[in-house]
Chain A
Amino acid sequence: MRDFKAARAPEPNAKWLKLRVQLLFGLFLTLLGTAFARAVFLQVFEQEKLRGLAQDQYVRQIEIPARRGDIFDRRGTPLAQSVEVDSIWVDPSLLPDVRAASRAMARVLKVDADELFGRLTRAKRFAWVKRQAKPQDVDAIKELGLPGLGFTKEPKRFYPQRELAAHVVGLVGTDGHGLEGLELAFEDELSGQNSRLSGFRDAKGRKLLVQGALDPLERQGASVTLTLDRHLQYVAEKALAKAVEESRAVAGTAVVLDPRTGELLALANNPRFNPNAPEGGDRGAIRNRAALDTFEPGSTMKSFVMAAALDQKLITADSTFFCENGAWPVGRHTINDTHPHGNMNIEGILQVSSNIGTAKVANVLGRERLVAAYHAFGFAERTGLALPGEGRGVIPFPKADVALATQSFGQGMTATAVQVAAGYGALANDGVLMRPYLVSKVVDPDGVVLLENQPTELRRVVSAKTARQVVGMLESVVTKGGTAPRAAMAEYRVAGKTGTAQKADPVARGYSDKRIASFVGVVPAEAPRAVILVVVDEPKTDVYGGLVAAPAFKEIATAAMAHLAVPPSRTVAPPEGVAAAVPLAPPPASKASAKAAPIKAALAEAVTETPEPGTVRVPDVQGQAGRDAVVQLLAAALEPQVLGSGRVVSQTPAAGSMVEKGARVTLELATRQ
């Protein structure tokens, strides 16, 4: 090898070498400059476009569902609430063995492993394992320690009162959107504004961070307050269920309305369903018949005919009509009464519910005025309860004489239960029809009132005098000679009317032997506080409203009067007394209840002696189920406070002691030992 240092040979082409090196230097400088120019182009001129493209991929809009607003009864008892529940999801691409993982998870969650496996294999980076899972399921899944699992809080709808008012409240689907009832009607208000947030994600789709904390109020829907009273609703549902069950009917409806305001205090339907587990129930059970379905109301319409004729002075209370001894040919048809009657005044016609007598009054009234009167009482127009698909009812113009006759007793026309109750509300409210309503307030989380319903006078239908006159006449209905003595109450004057309508047969074109039995009552008759309508569809045992529906009315009315703290109409009751069911509270002399109505002691107990106004005797609820005890205390106008669960083991103050109305009674409950 040559030694360079020693050689140090002259460099022959040194000049050229320097030139060429400098040329290369220039070339490299140019290339570096080009690269820098490109950087200037990208970072200055293209910056906005490129940054936008980049943000598209790492800024992901995360939609955070708003917490759905609650639904309350008039006293603030929640009927529908939202709770945060864990949902489990997985990134299947991170699972080492999808089949084994889905088998393990399916075993824990007790779901079909193949179905889960199918879902996990279809999804690329995200699949729900179980939405709205139970806490113990979440813990069990966490214990599996599988990679790629994620847990997200999702709001779930919960109905703490279960079946109570479920038809009115409605329900939501698994996606949290309203499907039925008020949940559907107030979907926009309840669901609130879903918030969209910018969060960063990495290329694996993981959320990295969310900018800013969330004010939980900001993502909450408005709350809806109803006019319903949880307690009356419960009583109505219970009484209705009993009526439907005992008469082996297919369905039933009960409405409790405050005639002075138009507020619906209860809107009960049977059959019932549990909105927390709606999968099991059939669609028919979910239907809110009281507001949605129309039916031929039958004889309950007679009161409106009489009121209209009296108000227009076409008849007087003393006018008499010959009731044709039970059969009156009209055209090719014959109008029948259940019992033959001769000459009767207006009160008598209502008391025995004579079709012939009413038809004759309708003849006096005439077609136009009959239809006009029905319209004036609010029929054939939607009441505007805000329930989706609310029924309207139809009143065809009665061209034929027989149509005029039948329409006067509520056949050949349709109405909803709420319309009938509201019509009676007008009679009970001195002739002024109030708009019935169900939703009193919609308030957003900031306290801004989005909707507020106040009592609204729709119109004066008849004069106060006429209204009082008709209500007075209707009191005869619950007397011994009337159609509904079972509706009579010991301490309150009841004005009411039965209805036993034939059901139209859609197949045979005519009327079937199926009936709709109803009773509508106004209580107390002298200063009405409640209109209570009970409708029983297709009863099998008895078909008459006075037999099937009236007892349920009485049960509801008894509880309602106590709950509303209505002073009794009278202190001396009808003569027949029955022994009180509660031995610790010995029956005072004045204590009585209608023999005809076999109402269970629990609710009958609501009314006890009235020794001093404003005080009540504490009922004995020892050994009763918690819920029954609470109902009984509420019926006695006491405020129950419940500790524990199960049956009542002790109560303070003791049974039989006299306390002020509204006093607190503490119940200690324990499960059966």
Chain B
Amino acid sequence: MKTAPPTAAAPAPPPVRFDPLLLCAVLGLVSLGLVMVYSASAVLAQDKLGDSLYFLKRQLSAAGMGLVGMAVMMKLGWRRLARLAYPLLLLAIVLLIAVAIPGIGTTAGGARRWIRLPGFSLQPAEIAKFAWVVYLSYSLAKKREKVATFSIGFLPHLALCGILVLLCMLQPDFGSSVLLVFMLFVLLFAAGTKLSYLVGSVLLALPMAYIAIATSPYRMKRILAFLDPWAHRHDVGYQVAESLMSIGSGGVTGLGLGDGRQKLFFLPEAHTDFIFSILGEETGLIGVGLLVLLYGVVLWRGVRASLAAGETFGTYLGLGITSIIAFQATVNMSVAMGLLPTKGLTLPFVSYGGTSLVVLMGAAGVLLSLSASAQGAVNRPVRTGSDVRGVTA
């Protein structure tokens, strides 16, 4: 892997300096995740599989693969991703279709989300998120000022997003769908799409979202549970109520690593979607503060690297990746703390989940390679000011 053939066209770059702070933050999150995955899953793994280390081992090997992926991305550099935009998107769509086929996709917890391969299982939605950001960044950068137009800049992306969302909802995977839509809006906004289009489509989507929720008892229940988890704590609000109790129990200093009680089968998905609850219980506000700080650093340094990219593609790419991380982290924590209805989004770098971790670490590699860019596109003085404002009108 290390010996990737150097591209002839590549100019010899000055000594590459990756952002050490960003690197530390990502590695810190991954390490924290490994500790928490073990703590949250040991009892469950011992009980169900007879091996308390089962989930830790799998997460460790994923982290190893993620490190390789990160190194490869850092070495390759973000610019090469432009060429991969279409192949990646195609791969994501194929995988999303494949997972919907009963023989290929495996079902767990009422959703068909995984493709079981020898040794590991693949979660196509996690790949789709990354592919979508790469594609959008490439497409928006390519279209440049035409981004502002409805038919070229807005509609095609919206349509493609619709297809991906549709595929995700086949599983169903509401959380990933929301993330895909959110990424579209973030990047369209950054690229300068008219705000009226964005606001308008949100207003249009509201009634549809309402219908989607009201017609699905499963989504309706989630809303009910969100609105008053205590009233539903024995059925639909169970998870959230348990999560709140878990986090609240932690207090400022926490019960101590491994000493949490809620993971003793009270809290379902303690090592995946609700790992934040266990972190809150065992490490308290201090641990939560550290986690938020690490995400804050990733966000800060990610945005900084995006702006330093020197090209719009890089900026979009960096912003998209940073947004995926920040959005998922915020939503996951908010769900665990009862601020948002249950979504099914994992805590990036921390939650158990091989595909997610490998993809996210690869994406972090992209961010790091952005941070190493010599100059920032946005800081560079504008050479030709001819059509700066005209086209946007």
Contact = CB atoms under 8 A, between A and B. Distances in A.
A43 B141 CA distance: 44
Interface string B357-393: 0000000000000000000011010111101100110
Interface stretch (B56-64, B66-74, B118-126, B319-327): B319-327
A45 to B, nearest CB: 9
Chain B residues touching A, majority SS = helix
A12 B265 contact: no
A21 B248 CA distance: 35
A29 B323 CA distance: 11
Contacts of B285: 39-40, 43-44
A50 B307 contact: no
B53 interface: no
A273 to B, nearest CB: 49
B116 interface: no
Interface string B305-326: 0110001110100010011001
Interface stretch (A3-11, A66-74, A151-159): A3-11
B190 A21 contact: yes
A509 interface: no
A10 B383 CA distance: 6
Contacts of A36: 288-289, 292
A22 B312 CA distance: 15
Interface stretch (B27-35, B151-159, B239-247): B239-247
A564 interface: no
B296 interface: yes
Given A12-B382, A25-B303, A39-B337, A17 B312 contact: yes
Most interface-central of A13, A22, A53 (chain B CB within 10 A): A13
B323 A17 contact: no
Nearest to B327: A28
A20 B327 CA distance: 17
B280 interface: yes
A29 B292 CA distance: 10
A611 to B, nearest CB: 79
Nearest to A33: B292
A43 B243 CA distance: 12
B247 A202 contact: no
Given A4-B82, A13-B392, A46-B248, A28 B326 contact: yes
A669 to B, nearest CB: 54
A200 interface: yes
B292 A38 contact: no
Nearest to B263: A202
Contacts of A16: 192
A50 B383 contact: no
A339 interface: no
A31 interface: yes
Given A20-B189, A21-B307, A4 B248 contact: no
B326 A31 contact: yes
Given A28-B299, A42-B337, A46-B248, A12 B387 contact: yes
Interface stretch (B107-115, B208-216, B249-257): B249-257
Contacts of B190: 17, 20-21, 24
B219 interface: no
A42 B243 CA distance: 11
Nearest to A201: B264
A86 to B, nearest CB: 25
A557 B388 CA distance: 129
Contacts of B246: 54
Contact of B262 (A17, A28, A54): A54
Contacts of B322: 28
Nearest to B261: A58
B248 A47 contact: yes
B295 A49 contact: no
A13 B192 contact: yes
Interface residues of A, number: 49
Contacts of A32: 292, 295-296, 299, 326, 329-330
Contacts of A42: 244, 247-248, 280, 337
A51 B330 contact: no
Given A43-B250, A202-B266, A24 B244 contact: no
A18 interface: yes
Interface string B185-224: 0100111100000000000000000000000000000000
Contacts of B17: none
B245 to A, nearest CB: 4
Contact of B311 (A8, A39, A203): A8
B232 interface: no
B288 A43 contact: yes
Contact of B339 (A4, A38, A47): A38
B2 to A, nearest CB: 23
Contacts of A100: none
A204 interface: yes
A57 interface: yes
Contacts of A39: 247, 280, 285, 288-289, 292, 333, 337
Nearest to A36: B292
A40 B264 CA distance: 24
Contacts of A201: 264
A578 interface: no
A36 to B, nearest CB: 5
Interface of A: 1-2, 4-5, 8-18, 20-22, 24-25, 28-29, 31-32, 34-36, 38-40, 42-44, 46-47, 49-51, 53-55, 57-58, 200-204, 208
12 contacts: A4-B313, A13-B388, A17-B192, A21-B307, A31-B330, A36-B288, A43-B285, A51-B245, A51-B248, A54-B248, A58-B266, A201-B264
Lowest 10 A-B CB distances belong to which pairs?
A: A50-B248, A203-B265, A202-B264, A54-B245, A28-B326, A35-B333, A31-B330, A14-B378, A18-B378, A51-B249
Interface of B: 9, 43, 79, 82-83, 141-142, 144-145, 186, 189-192, 244-252, 261-262, 264-266, 280, 284-285, 288-289, 292, 295-296, 299-300, 303, 306-307, 311-313, 315, 319, 322-323, 326-327, 329-330, 333-334, 337, 339, 377-378, 380, 382-385, 387-388, 391-392
